[in-house]
């Protein structure tokens, strides 16, 4: 069980405007170092940046660089809080194999002052989350785990004796002689419907809960308040404007890059930080730090004695390595040297957002003991991609792919690789006529070249099996519209957007709900031509066990399953992709006519 968090030690009857020793609150300058959505991405990745007009590839990120950067910035600042805004787990073989143990051990090298639960923390259910939090509490950090709007039932794994055994609503940290309240908020509907919590675990309204907690902190004399949310950037902006007493929101879930990266070929979702006006008419500052251990955010906040934010500024630090390559006119990769390398380094040094970061040695050693266990298994090559297979969820939204040019390539029809995954599932399910796969279940690009077992399990990291559903054409039409509506809903998930094999359609988000996905055509497994889907048709549909249970907005799938028209094949979905690639030898993009989304019209602005 977790040790008692600091929030329980703060007296509950303090005078407003005073510290716990009775003294008046004063001004405070605070630096917040933060990450979010690292999703078990513990090893470095790569990123192509435009440096002086030339595409330049860097090794980037990795948790050892996160540890190093946070320690560097912490040493240079007087008052610091270190925060993680959720979704620490799920996404790579490190989670598939170690269930969060590797993530927890590396997080404890940072010693976060607070960690907010994200939706993916519940991917192994309440029992799996309990195990992860036990690992997180095994060190000396005693990081408080926050989610004010998550209420487990007493007697269940997360609340064996009391509702707050594992999850606290907030923590109060004393920094620079001032009390700072940190409130955790998880995205309720998405976690409830797009993960695997117990039915007895309640998820409360985000805004109502946040205001209740702010009021409770203010009643204790705490007038410097941070929300640590896993609630998406746009939702955070709205939340900040609707709440009284909120000063700062450090967020996650939407994987939003903030800052000014246009010159480097990266599209940011807004400035870092983004300033809005809260319900009191005071300044509130919102920040997020992209994804996958690629960025450490540094937000500097100045409060006055009344608890109002006088100023906020900061830097999203993109973590670069010194392994740098370019491509010459013959498409040959090379390492720049001499004056060319000096020009690259000068460009990096001229922008605080960029920096060469040496990985922390202790973190590398910690990670290596897990990596050694994975190498033999994951490095087995099972096939080849003849071209880049780009990741995207909703067509035209961009930002999911790490391959240059993919955002443009996926504008019209969405991702390549989700379509290929659907093809693989249709191939592996011997009884299915068509396949439907949610975009969020597919987690990465597949670049041109060899495909390994590790690639497959990074692509499809969840504990899912393939499930066959017997459905009518009317039910298929209904579930596809449920999915596309949920993918665009403010409290939904972009990961619900549907991809398919043997089905294709058009999407127009300006049409009425329930009819936005239309002109559905079908070409069953053994069919030779596309034809209109009829409501009276009956097909066997293969999907993953997660959506088959009605999750991620696929409500009709859940109804079909409860009706007894579902058969679990017990085929692991990542292994099914491995077997498909082995059987095909090579894989490539579908023919244009076989993409599930044939045209897409975005919502009206």
Give the other-Cβ count within 10 Å of 285's Cβ.
25
Contact of 301 with 175, CB cutoff 8 Å: no
Measured distance CA(572)–CA(453) in Å, rounded: 13
| Same structural domain, 348 and 440 | no
- CATH of residue 33's domain is 3.60.21.10
Question: What residues form DSSP beta bridges with 47?
Answer: 58
Q: What separation in angstroms does the CA of 259 have from each of 73, 285, 314, 321, 499?
A: 18, 14, 9, 20, 32
- For residue 471, being part of any structural domain is answered with yes
Helix (H) or strand (E) holding 31: strand 28-35
Looking at 362, 391, 406, the residue that finishes a domain is 362
Give the other-Cβ count within 10 Å of 273's Cβ.
26
- For residue 374, being part of any structural domain is answered with no
- For residue 341, being part of any structural domain is answered with yes
DSSP string of 180-229?
EEEEEEE-HHHHHHHS---TTSEE--HHHHHHHHHHHHHHTT---EEEEE
Measured distance CA(305)–CA(28) in Å, rounded: 8
- For residue 371, being part of any structural domain is answered with no
The upper half-sphere exposure of residue 320, i.e. CA atoms within 13 Å in the direction of its Cβ, equals 25
- φ and ψ at residue 422, rounded to 5 degrees: -60, -40
Question: What residues form DSSP beta bridges with 78?
Answer: none
Measured distance CA(118)–CA(115) in Å, rounded: 9
What is the predicted pLDDT for the residue at 12?
27
For 342-357, what is each residue's pLDDT tens digit?
Answer: 999 999 999 999 999 9
- CATH of residue 435's domain is 3.90.780.10
Contact of 144 with 185, CB cutoff 8 Å: no
- For residue 358, being part of any structural domain is answered with yes
**pLDDT < 50 positions in the chain:** 1-18, 20-21
| Same structural domain, 403 and 307 | no
Measured distance CA(21)–CA(14) in Å, rounded: 9
| Same structural domain, 340 and 237 | yes
- Among 274, 258, 186, residue whose Cα is nearest residue 227: 186
Note the residue count of the chain.
605
Looking at 362, 389, 406, the residue that finishes a domain is 362
The pair of structure tokens assigned to 345 is 């380094």
Measured distance CA(143)–CA(145) in Å, rounded: 6
Torsion (CA) 131, 132, 137, 139 in degrees, nearest 10: 110
Three-state SS at 178: strand
For 493-547, what is each residue's pLDDT tens digit?
Answer: 899 999 999 999 999 999 999 999 999 999 998 888 999 999 999 999 999 999 9
Measured distance CA(4)–CA(7) in Å, rounded: 8
Give the other-Cβ count within 10 Å of 336's Cβ.
17
| Same structural domain, 423 and 339 | no
| Same structural domain, 113 and 144 | yes
Helix (H) or strand (E) holding 103: helix 101-110
| Same structural domain, 281 and 430 | no
Q: Going by C-beta distance under 8 Å and a sequence separation of 6 or more, which residues neighbour residue 164?
A: 8
| Same structural domain, 308 and 451 | no
What is the predicted pLDDT for the residue at 10?
38
| Same structural domain, 489 and 520 | yes
Give the other-Cβ count within 10 Å of 481's Cβ.
23
Domain tally, the chain: 2
DSSP string of 272-325?
SSEEEE-TTS-EEEEEE--STT-EEEEEEEEE-TTS-EEEEEEEEEEEEEEEEE
| Same structural domain, 393 and 264 | no
* β pairing state of 295-303 and 28-35: antiparallel
Looking at 296, 327, 362, the residue that finishes a domain is 362
| Same structural domain, 225 and 194 | yes
Q: Which residue reads 């993919």 in tokens?
A: 406
Task: Check whether the bond before 273 is cis (ω within 30° of 0).
Answer: yes
| pTM higher than the cut 0.75 | yes
What is the predicted pLDDT for the residue at 48?
87
What is the predicted pLDDT for the residue at 42?
97
Straight-line distance from the first to the last Cα atom of the chain, in angstroms, rounded to the nearest whole number: 48
Three-state SS at 604: coil
| Same structural domain, 386 and 317 | no
- φ and ψ at residue 385, rounded to 5 degrees: -95, 125
Domain housing 547: 379-601
| Same structural domain, 60 and 203 | yes
- For residue 15, being part of any structural domain is answered with yes
Buried b (16+ CB within 10 A) or exposed e, 98-127: bbbbbbbbbbbbbebbbbbbbbbbbbbbbe
- For residue 222, being part of any structural domain is answered with yes
- For residue 370, being part of any structural domain is answered with no
């Amino acid at each position: 069980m977790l040790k008692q968090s600091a929030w329980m030690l703060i007296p509950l009857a303090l005078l407003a405007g005073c510290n716990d020793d009775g003294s008046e609150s004063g001004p405070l300058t605070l630096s917040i170092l933060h990450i979010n959505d690292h999703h078990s991405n513990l090893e470095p990745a790569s990123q192509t940046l435009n440096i002086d007009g030339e595409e330049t590839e860097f090794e980037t990120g990795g948790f050892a660089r996160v540890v190093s950067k946070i320690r560097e910035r912490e040493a240079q600042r007087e008052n610091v809080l270190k925060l993680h805004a959720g979704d620490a787990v799920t996404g790579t073989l490190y989670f598939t194999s170690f269930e969060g143990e590797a993530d927890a051990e590396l997080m404890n090298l940072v010693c976060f002052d607070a960690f907010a639960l994200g939706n993916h923390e519940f991917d192994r259910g309440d029992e799996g989350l309990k195990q992860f939090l036990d690992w997180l509490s095994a060190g000396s950090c005693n990081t408080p785990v926050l989610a004010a709007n998550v209420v487990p039932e007493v007697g269940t794994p997360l609340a064996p004796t009391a509702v707050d055994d594992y999850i606290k609503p907030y923590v109060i940290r004393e920094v620079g002689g001032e009390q700072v309240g940190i409130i955790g908020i998880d995205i309720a509907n998405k976690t409830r419907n797009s993960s695997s919590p117990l039915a007895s675990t309640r998820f409360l309204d985000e805004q109502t809960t946040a205001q209740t907690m702010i009021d409770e902190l203010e009643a204790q004399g705490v007038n410097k308040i941070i929300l640590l949310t896993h609630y998406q950037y746009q939702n955070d902006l709205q939340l900040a404007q609707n709440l009284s007493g909120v000063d700062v929101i450090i967020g996650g879930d939407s994987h939003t890059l903030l800052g000014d990266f246009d010159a480097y070929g990266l599209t940011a979702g807004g400035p870092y930080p983004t300033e809005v006006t809260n319900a009191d008419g005071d300044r509130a500052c919102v920040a997020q730090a992209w994804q996958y251990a690629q960025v450490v955010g540094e937000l500097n906040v100045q409060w006055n004695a009344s608890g109002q934010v006088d100023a906020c500024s900061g830097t999203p630090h993109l973590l670069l390595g010194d392994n740098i390559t370019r491509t010459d006119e013959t498409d040959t990769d090379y390492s720049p040297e001499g004056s060319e390398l000096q020009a690259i380094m000068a460009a990096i040094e001229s922008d605080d957002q960029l920096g060469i970061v040496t990985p922390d040695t202790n973190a590398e050693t910690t990670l290596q003991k897990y990596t050694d266990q994975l190498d033999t298994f994951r490095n087995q090559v099972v096939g080849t991609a003849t071209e880049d297979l780009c990741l995207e969820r909703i067509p035209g939204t961009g930002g999911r792919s790490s391959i240059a040019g993919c955002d443009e390539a996926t504008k019209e029809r969405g991702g390549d690789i989700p379509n290929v995954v659907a093809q693989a599932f249709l191939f592996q399910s011997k009884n299915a006529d068509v396949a439907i796969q949610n975009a969020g279940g597919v987690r990465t690009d597949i670049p041109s070249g060899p495909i390994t077992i590790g690639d497959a399990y990074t692509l499809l990291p969840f504990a899912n099996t393939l499930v066959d559903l017997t459905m009518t054409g009317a039910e298929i039409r209904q579930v596809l519209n449920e999915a596309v509506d949920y993918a665009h809903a403010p409290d939904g998930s972009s990961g619900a957007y549907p991809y398919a094999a043997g089905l294709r359609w058009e999407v127009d988000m300006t049409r009425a709900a329930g009819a936005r996905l239309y002109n559905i055509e079908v070409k069953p497994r053994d069919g030779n031509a596309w034809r209109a889907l009829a409501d009276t048709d009956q097909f066997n549909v293969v999907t993953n066990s997660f959506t088959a249970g009605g999750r991620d907005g696929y409500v009709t799938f859940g109804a079909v399953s409860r009706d007894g028209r579902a058969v679990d094949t017990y085929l692991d979905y990542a292994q099914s992709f491995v077997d498909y690639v082995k059987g095909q030898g090579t894989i490539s993009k579908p023919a244009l006519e076989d993409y599930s989304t044939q045209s897409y019209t975005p919502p009206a602005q």
